[in-house]
């Protein structure tokens, strides 16, 4: 069984479009799938819209904004993914964490399900993402290292942005068969419940940003594979919620990265990484 989790905050119209596209795709590719929307105390009528127009969707309406990671974990706990499978009735086999600023193309759910069923050691995968104009959006990345951090923060290296040095995969890879990656973009992560139970839920030390990288690292360490499946296509608008609080979002991005460095880098690499973090964001509370 598949469960789809969507965490939303003040993006009612995008959420409506996302749910409509998802409903159409699941009807063909994953009938019987559960859909859960966690509304993070939106003030734009998002929760009311879901109740009125998507009666088949389970709504968790929060009284305050939990943040992206805690809200996803709330839904996964609701699904029993923090417990052993034997302890939970009707526990899903797969969970798709989907952003509300996405449009699911027909066949996406089926392609991801069939890939996971054919690759039992895949713990986490993602679809091919495209921009609203249909152009390719980088959908997966190599695990971040010091080179990627330097390319982002040092202007004299910016000519190498969006290259293989920057953790990007060649565009041609997205026109071919599935391929192994460091981590998928968090906008549409498709995870195996068994892998989630093996490594735990998302790390709530991240409010948002870098949580998908952390998850992928933990899954790899536990022996799971990470893939991109280009045959599944999802349009991703990007940043619709975070743009409403752009300065705080930028602060959270760097706070999350620093948590990732401290958690997964050794002392020397961590020290070097911290020298590259913009000074105004070092150890700053957001």
Complete domains list, the chain, with CATH? 2-144+175-238 (3.90.550.10)
CA 118/CA 173 separation, integer angstroms: 20
Q: Which residue blocks in 66-210 are alpha helix, DSSP H?
A: 68-78, 108-118, 146-153, 193-199
Instruction: Give residue 86's pLDDT band: very low, low, confident or very high (50, 70, 90).
Output: confident
The arithmetic mean of pLDDT across residues 137-148, rounded, is 91
Is 104 a residue whose pLDDT tops 90?
A: yes
Residue 246 clears pLDDT 60, i.e. is over it? yes
Give the pLDDT score at 169. 94
Query: 3-state SS of 62-94?
Result: CCCCCCHHHHHHHHHHHCCCCCCHHHCCCCCCE
What is the mean pLDDT of the segment spanning 106-127? 98
Calculate mean pLDDT across residues 222-231. 98
Determine the pLDDT at residue 160. 80
Of residues 37 and 29, more confidently modeled: 37
pLDDT tops 80 at residue 226: yes
pLDDT at 242: 46
The pLDDT assigned to 239 comes to 56
Higher pLDDT: 226 or 263? It is 226
> How far apart (Å, rounded) are the C-alpha atoms in residues 120 and 194?
10
Place of tokens 């709330």: 74
What are the tokens at 211?
A: 């949580």
**Which residue did the predictor score with more confidence, 278 or 212?**
212
Q: Where residue 186 falls among pLDDT bands split at 50, 70, 90? A: very high
Q: CA–CA separation, 26 vs 86, rounded Å?
A: 26
- Note whether 75 and 36 are within 8 A (CB): yes
Contact between residue 237 and residue 102 where contact means Cβ atoms under 8 Å apart = yes
Distance of alpha carbon 285 from alpha carbon 266, whole angstroms: 23
Q: Is the dihedral of CA 269, 274, 206, 127 positive or negative?
A: negative
Read off the tokens for 3: 């469960």
Supply the pLDDT for residue 116.
Answer: 98
Residue 284: pLDDT band with limits 50, 70, 90: low
Tell me how long the chain is: 286
Indicate whether 173 pLDDT > 80.
yes
Q: What is the mean pLDDT of residues 183-211?
A: 94
What band does 191 get if pLDDT is binned at 50, 70 and 90? Answer: very high
Segment 16-30 shows an average pLDDT of 96
pLDDT for residue 286: 65
Work out the pLDDT band at 53, boundaries 50, 70, 90: very high
**CA R_g for the chain:** 18
Which residues, 6 or more positions from 51, have their beta carbon under 8 angstroms from its beta carbon? 59
* Res. 273 pLDDT band, cuts 50 70 90: confident
Rounded Cα distance between 143 and 71, Å, is: 25
248-262 mean pLDDT: 84
- How many angstroms from the chain centroid is the CA of residue 55? 25
Q: Write the CB contacts of 117 (distance below 8 Å, at least 6 apart in sequence).
A: none
- Of 11-15, 57-61, 215-219, 235-239, the least confident: 235-239
276 vs 20: CA distance, rounded Å? 43
240, pLDDT greater than 80: no
Q: Taking the alpha carbons of 100, 102, 107, 108 in that order, is the dihedral positive or negative?
A: negative
**In degrees to the nearest 10, what's the CA dihedral of 155, 146, 181, 138?**
-10
């Amino acid at each position: 069984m598949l469960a789809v989790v969507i965490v939303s905050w003040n993006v009612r119209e995008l959420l409506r479009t996302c749910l409509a596209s998802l409903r159409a795709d699941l009807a063909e590719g994953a009938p019987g799938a559960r859909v859960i929307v966690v509304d993070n105390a939106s003030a734009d009528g998002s929760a009311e819209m879901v109740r009125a127009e998507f009666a088949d969707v389970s709504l968790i309406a929060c009284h305050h904004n939990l943040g992206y990671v805690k809200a996803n974990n709330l839904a996964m706990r609701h699904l029993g993914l923090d417990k052993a499978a034997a302890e939970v009735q009707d526990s899903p086999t797969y969970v798709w964490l989907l952003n509300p600023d996405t449009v699911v193309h027909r066949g996406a759910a089926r392609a991801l399900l069939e890939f996971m069923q054919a690759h039992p050691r895949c713990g986490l995968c993602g679809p091919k993402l495209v921009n609203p104009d249909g152009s390719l959006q980088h959908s997966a990345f190599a695990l971040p290292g010091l080179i990627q951090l330097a390319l982002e923060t040092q202007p004299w290296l910016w000519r190498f942005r969006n290259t293989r040095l920057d953790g990007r995969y060649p565009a041609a890879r997205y026109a071919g068969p599935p391929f192994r990656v460091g981590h998928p973009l968090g906008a549409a992560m498709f995870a195996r419940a068994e892998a989630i139970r093996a490594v735990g839920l998302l790390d709530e030390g991240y409010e948002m940003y870098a949580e998908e990288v952390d998850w992928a690292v933990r899954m790899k360490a536990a022996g799971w594979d990470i893939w991109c499946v280009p045959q599944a296509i999802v349009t991703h608008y990007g940043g619709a919620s975070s743009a409403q609080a752009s300065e705080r979002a930028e602060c959270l991005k760097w706070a999350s990265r620093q948590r990732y460095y401290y958690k997964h880098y050794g002392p020397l690499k961590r020290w070097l990484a911290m020298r590259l973090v913009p000074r105004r964001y070092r150890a700053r509370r957001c």
